Amino acid sequence: MSLLKRLEQMEKNKEKEIKENKSAEQNREVTVPFPNIQKDKEPEEKRSRDPQIELKSRIHQKLIEQLGQDDTGEEAREKLAEKIPGLVKEILEKENVQLSLGEKDKFINEIINESLGFGPIQPLLDDEEISEIMVNGPEQVYVEKNGKLELSGVKFRDDNHIKHVIEKIVTPLGRRIDESSPMVDARLPDGSRVNCVIEPLALDGPTITIRKFSRDPLTIDDLIDNNSLTLEMAAFLEAAVQCRLNIIVSGGTGSGKTTTLNVLSSFIPSKERIVTIEDAAELQLQQEHVIRLESRPPNIEGKGAITLRDLVRNSLRMRPDRIVVGEVRSGEALDMLQAMNTGHDGSITTGHANSPRDMISRLETMVLMAGMDLPVRAIREQISSAVDIIVHQMRMRDGSRKITHITEVQGMEGEIVILQDLFLFEQSGIDEDGNVRGSFQSTGIRPRFMSRLEAQGVDIPVRVFAPQE
């Protein structure tokens, strides 16, 4: 219902209320509610709980007792998965539990997920159509499918059950989560990004947010097929990466920056040595000569932290041909700019921003966060000299992701960093199904660095920059 219709409906309801109040005052009668009606209990009755919780807990405990002496290393996972169905059936017979064949198979799968996987969310992790999983509490698990959020039917037993899954995620990585450190960033074995928050910060109970990544990394052809960019834009970006231009991918949360970074990195020649630096390793580079570095949080004594800035500085001593930083958030931006300005061309990173112009302002702020008392003009000169291209990505209203700007950083004019849009996505409206309508356009302007591309033998056809009629 539109806002205007809602206003009209509110006016009608008000008139109706006034009439009812007048008639009620004239014929006021005291009515006693029925004592056997208890409305407060309705939500509790509607709340669906798993009737087999206690049985699952007993079986899980017996499985631990029977399998505890076996080899539970990585090599034994398949053997355990083969043993569990027989053991569960044996225990069900001893417990004299009657289940249909379908219920028994579902029950066994749930026990396997609890024992060897990540509990109730394991089927969601296995579903390739799901891109994000958001656990808000024991009875509220949302998923994102095709860019749209929907409530799943998955439920946990209680808050402790969620904490148990969190521990299974973070413990193998050597990370911890407790009252003294109630937030943690982690990753799953397949590279999916995980964020967990527990009480006292999470007021309604533990939360888990998982950003899944495709088992088969998306390629530039996938982005073109998904209408995230055009073939002309893709050809231009491929040439920019191969000719060692410095690129920043900007955008909001969930806009697809990491996916685009993965695709851009696929254009890096296989002979080059690449050093990747991330908070939680999630990049999926396909080249052979890749060194992956990951930051480390402080230990329980508050010592031993290794920040992104430490890793960026250290990477300069590792003879990198390319430096790829998963995301710059603070002082590491200064070291990244200095690396770009001191011979490490072809570096790529991402950053949060609402537009290419905002990305410049964000970089200024992040450089100041490094604690260096630099004049703003000096920072802007560093940025304009280091960054060649800003690729801005957005998550549209219909859930699709599109590269809305490919912008050249042309240098300084006075105190201002000059930006020039080369390609744009122009939205024209929304269709009947709620999908975004629009088209990709070239601004018709050739970038200033074309001479650098031509000097390296890269000839981009003029029609790539020709504006569409």
pLDDT at residue 132 in the model: 93
Q: In 3D, which of 379, 385, 405 has the Cα closest to residue 343?
A: 385
Q: How far apart are CA 305 and CA 218, in angstroms?
A: 33
Q: How far apart are CA 157 and CA 116, in angstroms?
A: 18
Helix axes 257-265, 231-242, angle to 10 degrees: 60
Q: How far apart are CA 227 and CA 44, in angstroms?
A: 46
- Point out the residues of the chain with pLDDT beneath 50: 1-4, 7, 29-48, 69, 71-72
Rounded to two decimals, what is the model's pTM? 0.76
pLDDT at residue 15 in the model: 67
pLDDT at residue 458 in the model: 86
Q: How far apart are CA 339 and CA 316, in angstroms?
A: 7
Q: Token digits for 175?
A: 């990370």
Give the CB-side neighbour count of residue 206, counting CA atoms within 13 A. Answer: 23
Q: In 3D, which of 332, 330, 327 has the Cα closest to residue 309?
A: 332
Helix axes 101-116, 53-67, angle to 10 degrees: 60
Q: How far apart are CA 335 and CA 366, in angstroms?
A: 11
Q: How far apart are CA 372 and CA 393, in angstroms?
A: 30
The string over 286-305, giving b where at least 16 C-beta atoms fall within 10 Å of a residue's C-beta and e elsewhere, is eeeebeebbbbbeeeeeeee
3 state DSSP class of 352: strand
Q: How far apart are CA 243 and CA 453, in angstroms?
A: 6
Backbone angles phi, psi at 117, to 5 degrees: -110, -145
The tokens 């003029």 sit on which residue? 462
Q: Token digits for 72?
A: 């539970």
Cβ–Cβ < 8 Å for 384, 248: no
Q: Which residues contact 199 (CB under 8 A, 6 or more apart)?
A: 179, 182, 205, 206
